[in-house]
Amino acid sequence: MPTRSEVEATLSQFVGEITQRPPIYSAIKINGQRAYKLAREGKQFEVPERLVTVYSLELLDYTYPHITVRAYVGSGTYIRSLGEDIGKTLGTGAYCSVLKRTSIDSYQLADATTIESRS
């Protein structure tokens, strides 16, 4: 079981420009075809790694085996892949059970309205 300081140290390793391999069920094109389409057809292929930017990772809560992290990332970053990579580095494995996008570009979740309030 990793300690809180080990989790924080691991998170810090993923801040900055990092290499990430997107999942096979992504919209990335492989030889002109979407990866998710090839994956669903059972074709064997590898999605190439690419550079992405992680501006910050803030540990909000840690109660083993669950961690809650606030991530501020650049375009093209796959959060679920980031979670898996963090779990591999910790030696525990990991997956995202909850994912909430709080902003994209200048749009903020806090400014959102419901469909019902617009009528």
The pLDDT tens digits of the residues spanning 71-113 come to 999 999 999 999 999 999 999 999 999 998 888 888 888 888 8
Q: How many domains does the chain have?
A: 1
Any domain includes 74: yes
Distance CA(21)–CA(119), nearest Å, equals 43
Any domain includes 41: no
The pLDDT tens digits of the residues spanning 18-49 come to 999 999 999 999 999 999 999 999 999 999 99
Domain with 76, as residue range(s), is 4-21+50-109
Q: Could you tell me the pTM of the whole model?
A: 0.83
Distance CA(91)–CA(34), nearest Å, equals 31
Any domain includes 29: no
Report the CATH number at residue 82.
Answer: 3.30.70.3190
Any domain includes 45: no
Q: According to the model, what pLDDT value does residue 118 have?
A: 75
